[in-house]
Amino acid sequence: MSELKQAKSALISVFSKDGLEPIVKKLDELGITIYSTGGTEKFIKDLGINVIPVEDVTSYPSILGGRVKTLHPKVFGGILNRQDHDGDVKELEQYEIPQIDIVIVDLYPFEKTVASGAAEQDIIEKIDIGGISLIRAAAKNFKDVTCVSSVDDYQEFLDLLNEKEGRTSMTDRKRFATKAFNISSHYDSAIFNYFNQEGEVNSFKQSELSGKELRYGENPHQKGTFFGNFDEIFDKLHGKELSYNNLLDVDAAVNLMNEFKGDAPTFAILKHNNACGLAQRETIHQAYIDALAGDPVSAFGGILISNVEIDAKTAEEIHKLFCEVVIAPSFSEEALEILKGKKNRILLILKDVKLPESQVRTCLNGILVQDKDNKTDALSDLNQATDKKATEEELSDLIFASKICKHTKSNTIVLAKNKQLCASGTGQTSRVDALKQSIEKARSFNFDLKGAVMASDAFFPFPDCVEIAGNEGITAVIQPGGSIKDQLSIDYCNENNISMVMTGTRHFKH
């Protein structure tokens, strides 16, 4: 262990006083001189503990409505001086600058103020200047100074005080400095993103203060970590810890079901980020039964999601299936008791929250950022391209199939009938292969495709897909259109009594 350094003084200036009292009392017990400002100074005095106002050191009061309190050479000199540097030591004596060994600061709650919907002037006032400067100075000089930059670190620091009686090692101080620069960089990123909401500066900054280490990544030999606030979106009621693959599937499930928010009871079953079963019915029980019928084989070990409360009757059916995760806006008490019967089954309540508007992924030696595909095809978007017009029932199924298609890996074809997913071809290099895969799958689970509809995520460059579909009895097609050979597919549909609508919107998903 490196040589321990004894602290003799501390500067404390915090926004939140939560958890501060035991630290202040321990510092006082250890005979460590405390300097402070404003509300923190009053808090310490009210504890009956001696504290020296920063104004007594600087000979300047807090000015400009509190905007300037600690920004003074006697404060920053006390923090930034090198204690083994003769010139620095002499200047401290010359200018009567006190040595500061510990800095405890937390920042104005900028992100919380933005999230509250506050007026811009209130938000601007929550851009911390003195606090962020103190943190950077103390962390830079970790060789001599311990920087505590967050309420979340108070307990660790208190434990250190109790264990080492005010002494710290270089390792201790560097660890706290690392935490401090994590805080400061996150804070600056949040401020930049607030100012750059219109994207005028073409720069990407995303910051998460902490991550949750997962059991492993996509495979056991890969390390995995989740960075994000899972609890902001879900209440986890039961089950084991979510894995890397669980989280990817849950993300896919939530984004898919968001298409059916506020609709009639809808149930989906996903595997490897794709829906293998989905149905919309008058009751969630029947929706689950019909979703499972779409592919009861792939449903094993799948991710289940409902757009309405799961009741006991539905839970009894779900309980018969081995599944990893069940997601719903709520569960009845009876349903919860049933589903908790499997100790590892993960049960999540999906909160009513706004999902991110952009998507980020690594690419080569950088990243790709894009707007999320928030375009959902609607009846008003449809252009009837064929002589035969789709019936109301077909139009309803076409929109239903399009929503699923949008959330299925490209190239994809989705076949649906009576608000039920019959089958899909996912992630194929050929659209014809995607169609053939979906037809074969539908047949294997005894679906009658006569009167079914077909959705494609991109246009048909040739009429082969509509010909294959027509031979299976499919009567209506939805696709973006836009091929220079669109007319070939239109002509085939006209000749074979198939209706086709075009949306003008491609939905690739790679």
> Residue 318 — φ and ψ, nearest 5°?
-60, -35
Q: Is the dihedral of CA 491, 492, 498, 504 positive or negative?
A: negative
Catalytic residue among 140, 164, 205, 388: 140
Q: Is 427 left (phi over 0), alpha (psi -120 to 50) or beta?
A: left
Choose among 423, 476, 419: nearest CA to 263.
419
Output the DSSP codes for 456-470: ESS--SSTHHHHHHH
Q: Please, are residues 463 and 489 in contact by the beta-carbon 8 Å criterion?
A: yes
Distance CA 273, CA 77 (A): 56
> Residue 212 — φ and ψ, nearest 5°?
-105, 120
Is 238 marked active-site? no
Q: Please, are residues 411 and 458 in contact by the beta-carbon 8 Å criterion?
A: yes
Residues 6 or more apart whose CB falls under 8 angstroms from that of 392 comprise none
411 preceded by a cis bond (ω within 30 of 0): yes
Choose among 126, 174, 182, 125: nearest CA to 149.
182
> Residue 167 — φ and ψ, nearest 5°?
-100, 150
Distance CA 353, CA 420 (A): 27
- Compute CA distances 472 → 425, 443, 445, whole Å: 15, 10, 15
Buried b / exposed e across 119-152, counting CB within 10 Å, b at 16+?
eeeebebbbbebbbbbbbbbbebbebbbbbbbbe
Instruction: To the nearest 10°, report the CA torsion of 471, 476, 479, 483.
Output: 60
Q: Please, are residues 310 and 332 in contact by the beta-carbon 8 Å criterion?
A: yes
Is 272 marked active-site? yes
Catalytic residue among 8, 174, 272, 340: 272
Q: How many helices (H) and strands (E) does the chain have?
A: 19, 23
Burial class (CB in 10 A: 0-12, 13-18, 19+), 442: buried
Distance CA 431, CA 407 (A): 16
DSSP run (H or E) holding 499: strand 499-502
Kindly state the tokens that stand for 458. Answer: 């991109």
Q: Which residues are catalytic?
A: 140, 272
